[in-house]
Amino acid sequence: MNYQLWMEPDDCQTFCLGGPQGNTARKLLHPDAQLVWEVEAHSHFEAMTLYYTYMEWGEYKTDLAGQE
């Protein structure tokens, strides 16, 4: 699946699915928001791990069983 990172003019960000599955999230974006990064991932956990790496936030962790 494709995931997208959008940056808003006020430095807020949205990380959402690409394609039609992310339409609802993208409708909420400011008109001047910019797509700054895209990544392919096989799961939400993988996407979040790659996102955390991209943002240099350290290791992504979740409390959800079976997601690691």
Residue 25 domain flag: yes
Give the pLDDT band of residue 1 (cuts 50, 70, 90): very high
Instruction: Identify the pLDDT of residue 63.
Output: 85
- Tell me which residue range forms the domain holding 34: 2-55
What is the structure's pLDDT at 65? 60
pTM, full prediction: 0.88
Residue 17 lies in a domain: yes
> Is position 68 within any domain?
no
On whether residue 18 sits in a domain, the answer given is yes
Name the nearest CA neighbour of 16 among 45, 47, 42. Answer: 47
| CB-based contact 30:9 (threshold 8 Å) | yes
Number of domains observed in the structure of the chain: 1
The predicted-structure confidence for 5-58, as pLDDT tens digits, reads as follows 999 999 999 999 999 999 999 999 999 999 999 999 999 999 999 999 999 999
pLDDT of residue 68: 54
63 within a domain of the structure (yes/no): no
Distances (CA, A) of 30 to 6, 13, 38, 48, 65: 10, 10, 18, 23, 35
66: confidence class by pLDDT, cuts 50, 70, 90: low
